[in-house]
Amino acid sequence: MTHSDGDKVTVEYVGRLEDGTVFDTSDAEYAEEIGLTEENPDRIFEPLTIELGEGNVIPGLEDGLREMAVGDQTMIEVPPEQAYGEYNEDKVGEYDRDAFENMLGDRELTVGFEVKTETGLFGRVSEYDDETVTVDYNHELAGELLRFEIEVVDVEAEN
């Protein structure tokens, strides 16, 4: 069985990095157990429904789901080029600290502080010192091999 674009596949999943670190899950109890609910207090951890062909998930995960049926369980490994790309040093910028802090207003400069450029590019402050602020515009999972433990819980075929 091969699913087509427009089919909806609902999955339970755990996403891990190559070293075993969990970065995402659909399991609310597990998310609470490992601290993901504290990191994402507004997030609802529940099965994920993916409409194939819509581009709403990384290509390597979507491709892996196309051959799965309800009840199937597997591990899908997604290399960086089929996920968030390789880490790119050209996507790291350095800024004058005084000018950067002037843009922050009353918000406090911290490592991990999220920024958005005028062109819509998202980044995070990766480090700063007395003179400069370094912002990394790579996706936080760029360069990572991702492993998804998947269980298909429903499939809705487009007719």
CA 17, CA 73: separation in Å to the nearest integer? 19
Could you please state the CATH topology (level 3) that the domain comprising 89-136 is classified under. Thrombin, subunit H (2.40.10)
Cβ contact 122:115 at 8 Å: yes
Q: Give the model's pLDDT for residue 105.
A: 84
Which residues touch 76 (CB under 8 Å, ≥6 apart)? Answer: 60, 61, 64, 65, 147, 148, 150
Q: Give the model's pLDDT for residue 96.
A: 95
Per DSSP, 9 falls in state: E
Q: Give the model's pLDDT for residue 27.
A: 96
Cα-only R_g, the chain:
19
CB atoms within 10 A of CB 156: 13
Domain 8-84+141-156 matching CATH 1.20.120.1200: the answer reads: no
Q: Give the model's pLDDT for residue 1.
A: 67
Cross-strand bridge partners of residue 150: 13, 74
Whole-prediction pTM value?
A: 0.84
CA 32, CA 27: separation in Å to the nearest integer? 9
Q: Give the model's pLDDT for residue 20.
A: 96
Which residues touch 2 (CB under 8 Å, ≥6 apart)? Answer: 66, 67
Q: Give the model's pLDDT for residue 46.
A: 96
All residue ranges of the chain with pLDDT < 50 are none
Tell me if residue 22 falls in helix, strand or coil: strand
CA 63, CA 4: separation in Å to the nearest integer? 11
Q: Give the model's pLDDT for residue 152.
A: 97
In 3D space, the residue among 15, 5, 20 whose CA is nearest the CA of residue 63 turns out to be 5
Q: Give the model's pLDDT for residue 106.
A: 86
CB atoms within 10 A of CB 3: 22
What is the residue extent of each domain of the chain? 8-84+141-156, 89-136
Q: Give the model's pLDDT for residue 151.
A: 97
Q: Give the model's pLDDT for residue 39.
A: 87
